[in-house]
Structure 1
Amino acid sequence: MTDAKKPMAEANRISSMLNAVLGADRFPVKVDELALEYSRQCFADSPIDTIRGEDLDGFDGLLKANKARSKWLVLYNSATPSEGRKRFTIAHEFGHYILHRHQQDLFECGDDDIETGDNNERDIEAEADLFASTLLMPLDDFRRQVDGQPISFDLLGHCATAMGYR
């Protein structure tokens, strides 16, 4: 068994690559395109093959492997009115793909999935959330946007808008 991947480290590694290829003005992250291309380039034997929105009753997103585990599907709830929330859900499912796909072949994620393990196991939902938030709003870019300004709701709103959260 391989060592567990660290959510922030994985997201920061991908962010560093995006910074090198696209530069600092690369926001908001086109997470659907990123997940498809990154998985094809790095995991050609088992990439994310499809990302699509559907009206999902009872959950926000899903990551599922085919029977051969040679392709993965990401679904997100298209009924969600917030484009930022849809992007976060795709990033969350991409996080499961990067961090947890060797543990199981189906992830169904909704508001009730606050904790998936007991006190002795890692909480994979929290890890996928941490990966998603770090990928979509990396700390280095947040620092660049704040740049010594006093923290206020207006400043945080500006950062959220720049990152595509609203």
Structure 2
Amino acid sequence: MTGAGGDRVREQAERILADVPAWLWDGERLPVPVEDIVDSCFGLHVRDVEDMSAAPGAPAVDGGQQLSGLLLPARGEIWVNADEARRWPPRRRFTIGHELGHWVLHRTGQESLFCRRTTVQEARAVVADIEEEASQFAAELLMPRWLLVREHAACNGDIDALCARFASSRAAMERRVGQLLVGEPPR
């Protein structure tokens, strides 16, 4: 995501990281403690859940698909797919960051999004934009540009080393490095 919307998302993530109390995170230590930030700074509880369809208002998913996470604003909870979290811990971190992105960026607007009448095509475009913003927020939060630039130089661009330092998946790291350091447009 580029342009004014992308700048807004980046600025929000940077503001949150700047406001994290020093006792929780010093702004340098890796990986960024996303679950501690969600809990201590936002009062949100992260729950690893075996059956994501049990969430109040959980959307129906097509066969073979599954939900990675859900934000339940009224409960102050982020639900994370427990099976996926066990198999891919970096994915769990990204999911938590993504759902925090919804909390920070979309919480007040989301209620009206599902209440207003729109065409199916308009609704899909809005949902895609919201999901992309939440994913960009997660990337900005978990792989802040100042730390990524520093660590990229320190390990000579070794993606596996970066993944280990940031507790990130390879796919998320390659995308982030491409956006920040190689100049590739976001996918």
Q: TM-score normalised to the size of structure 1? A: 0.71
Question: In the alignment, is the contact (CA less than 8 A) between 1:92 and 1:132 conserved in 2?
Answer: yes
- Given the superposition, is the C-alpha separation of residues 140 and 20 from structure 1 closer, same or farther in structure 2, using an over 3 Å criterion? farther
Residue 144 (structure 1) shift: 0.7
Aligned length: 140
Question: In the alignment, is the contact (CA less than 8 A) between 1:116 and 1:123 conserved in 2?
Answer: no
CA distance in 1, matches of 2:106, 2:93: 19
Question: Which of the numbers 106, 120, 125 marks the counterpart of 1:118?
Answer: 125
Q: TM-score normalised to the size of structure 2? A: 0.64
Give the match for residue 111 of structure 1.
none
SS of the equivalent of 2:30 reads coil
Residue 149 (structure 1) shift: 6.5
Letter in 1 for 2:17: S
Residue 65 (structure 1) shift: 2.5
13-22 vs 52-61, which deviates more? Answer: 13-22
SS of the equivalent of 1:6 reads helix
Residue 82 (structure 1) shift: 0.7
Moved >6 Å (runs of 4+): none
Question: In the alignment, is the contact (CA less than 8 A) between 2:69 and 2:81 conserved in 1?
Answer: yes
> Could you give the per-residue CA deviations for residues 104-129 of structure 1, whole angstroms, max 9, x where no partner exists?
25xxxxxxxxx96437x871000000
Question: In the alignment, is the contact (CA less than 8 A) between 1:95 and 1:128 conserved in 2?
Answer: yes
Give the match for residue 38 of structure 2.
35
> Could you give the per-residue CA deviations for residues 77-120 of structure 1, whole angstroms, max 9, x where no partner exists?
11011110001001100000000000125xxxxxxxxx96437x
CA distance in 2, matches of 1:37, 1:61: 20
**RMSD, aligned α-carbons:** 3.0
Residue 16 (structure 1) shift: 2.7
> Could you give the per-residue CA deviations for residues 4-62 of structure 1, whole angstroms, max 9, x where no partner exists?
8921111111223349663344211221120121114xxxxxxx2x2110123621100
Which structure dedicates a bigger proportion of its chain to strand? 1
Give the match for residue 14 of structure 2.
12
| Mapping of residues 18-97 of structure 1, within 5 Å | 18=20, 22-40=25-43, 48=44, 50-55=45-50, 56=52, 58-66=66-74, 71-80=75-84, 81-97=87-103
Letter in 2 for 1:74: I
Question: Which consecutive unaligned segments of at least 5 residues does structure 1 have?
Answer: 41-47, 106-114
